[in-house]
Chains A and B, each alone.
Chain A
Amino acid sequence: MPKFLFASALEKDAATFFSRLHPTTMLIALGCMVVIIFSTLNFLALVGILAFLFLIVVFDGMPKQSTFTVLLVVIPLCVFITLIQALTDPNQIIARFDLFGMGILVSQEGIFLGLSITLRVALMALTMTMFFTVVHPVKLTRALYDMGMPFKFAYTFVLALRFLPLILDELATINNAQKSRGYDIDRVNPAIKVLKMFPLTIPLILGALKRADTIALAMDLKAFDAYPKRTFFIALQKGSADTVVRAVSVVAMVFFVVVTFQGIL
């Protein structure tokens, strides 16, 4: 199980302000946040949004370490983007130096643009992580179904969460079984590795297909998708907090879009 995702939503059921909200509210908030992040490349505005998200994580009691781990994952990418921008942007040169006889120019505008793009990537990663940390996958499925998505599609998300870890385990076992027969993929020349993967991929794929078959059978035998409608054990509740969060999200989004298109930011 990918431990950092879904951790709080599953283990401490409805433990935070945001995880108690209606999943549709969270979908709306997510949508608004994505639009906001993409509406501006103003460095200060993006820093402001980041600070805002940090505050939410801290005050909402989401698991800090796991939520911020995702930022560590995107940092190398961020450094790379900033570096490229700083070295290729021709405006506002703040430094120049020689490297192996080549003149290298460092652009201030480039640095800020690079940092802004970086921040955008980081913000997207953080937003998605926060979303999946607080929204219970089962409730999300329910919300998608209520919005008109056929249940068998809405449900694939839960199925993937349930079975992906099993398939990863299976790959490790297959790798071990073939290693025990003297076949070590880690010691194969990387240039031809792909060609040599069959002893691992074939059992993996066939196993997954077989499993999918059995799961489909077992689900059909429990009348999955047999009737056009189904009932739900969990009830989704919408309170005044939902209305507030929805309103704030939409207003913030409109504000950012208008301000950006007016050229104010």
Chain B
Amino acid sequence: MSNNDVIIDVQQLGHTYPNGAKALNGIDLQIRTGEFLGVIGQNGAGKTTMVKHFNGLLKPTEGRVVVKGVDTRNAQVSNLARHVGYVFQNPDHQIFASNVREEIAFGPKNIGMDKATIERNVEEAIEVLDLGGVTDIHPFRLSRGQRQRLAIAGVLAMKPEIFMLDEPTGGQDREQVLRLRKVLQALNEAGHTIILITHDMELLAESARRAIVVRGGKVILDGPPTEVFKHTEELRKTFLTAPQITRLSLELGFSMPATTVEEAAQELLKRSESRKAGVGA
């Protein structure tokens, strides 16, 4: 793959907070256009500090971060926002408008989209995040799950090429999580680069195509989820566990660890058929 595909280039990134705490240490990471990247690790490991560098909220104290060819040290967050969307963990940290449409239109307006585009994007975001039924309800009266989706819609309407989400599944039931997963996958298929920070290993395994594990301000594992989950020892040291289905498939000696229940079901069916066939012969 040519280097031109790299949309976020992290080189020897280090970050020391003003109080002297060293949060990141020598991170090298290339994220390519169209990737679906999952970021896992405990709180305090440096995940959030790292992704805050991707849209310029934090500037490197060592090394550099280049987003779409621009060194973030020379860029304003409000300008990077055109390319990098970032949905914060708690929707209540961003929702302020008195109706759903106005809330979603806030970001697009800030980055100077024209009126017709804003309208189109708002309606599209409402559709994609299943908010059609609640547009007349005051945003503060929505359920936590709905507010979470509203927050995502507000960033989605800005049409960023890179879409970062911090723990987006809080307060949602399984059905809504499945829906969100489909939304993220559809965005990814449409060419958006997705960066998903989550503690939900099942969601990660089902959706991300690359996973990185952050510990102590460093990226300690990097690869497809199936590969990363094979490193049970390193994961255990980080107090992370692969999804139950993946662990089951490892215990059962699958050649390729399963990331979803469906995969595991297929493999088991195949096994039982070949055994029957074996018995038959």
Q: Hey, which bits of chain B sit against chain A, CB under 8 A? A: 52, 55, 57, 76-78, 81-82, 84-86, 88, 90, 92-96, 106-107, 110-111, 140, 154-155, 158
Contact = CB atoms under 8 A, between A and B. Distances in A.
A170 B76 CA distance: 22
7 contacts: A176-B57, A177-B94, A180-B55, A181-B154, A199-B94, A202-B96, A207-B93
A177 B85 contact: no
Interface stretch (A83-91, A144-152, A182-190): A182-190
A180 B53 CA distance: 12
A177 B88 contact: yes
A180 B81 CA distance: 6
Contacts of A200: 96
Nearest to B56: A179
Contacts, number: 67
B93 A182 contact: no
A95 interface: no
What class of interface size applies to chain A in its complex with B? 20 to 34
B95 A203 contact: yes
Contacts of A177: 86, 88, 93-94
Contact of B96 (A170, A173, A203, A210): A203
A173 B88 contact: yes
Contacts of A206: 92, 140
A180 B106 contact: no
A189 B273 CA distance: 71
Nearest to B79: A182
B105 to A, nearest CB: 11
A201 to B, nearest CB: 8
Given A173-B88, A181-B154, A187 B76 contact: yes
A178 interface: yes
Given A181-B110, A182-B78, A182-B107, A207 B92 contact: yes
A200 B96 CA distance: 8
B154 A184 contact: no
Interface of A: 170, 173-174, 176-184, 187, 198-200, 202-203, 206-207, 210
B96 A184 contact: no
A184 B57 CA distance: 11
A224 B211 CA distance: 47
Nearest to A187: B78
Contacts of A179: 57, 77-78, 81
A248 B81 CA distance: 64
Nearest to B164: A180
A3 to B, nearest CB: 9
A202 B98 CA distance: 10
Of residues A179, A182, A206, which shows the largest number of chain B Cβ atoms within 10 Å of its Cβ?
A182
Given A180-B55, A181-B110, A198 B96 contact: yes
Contacts of B86: 177, 180
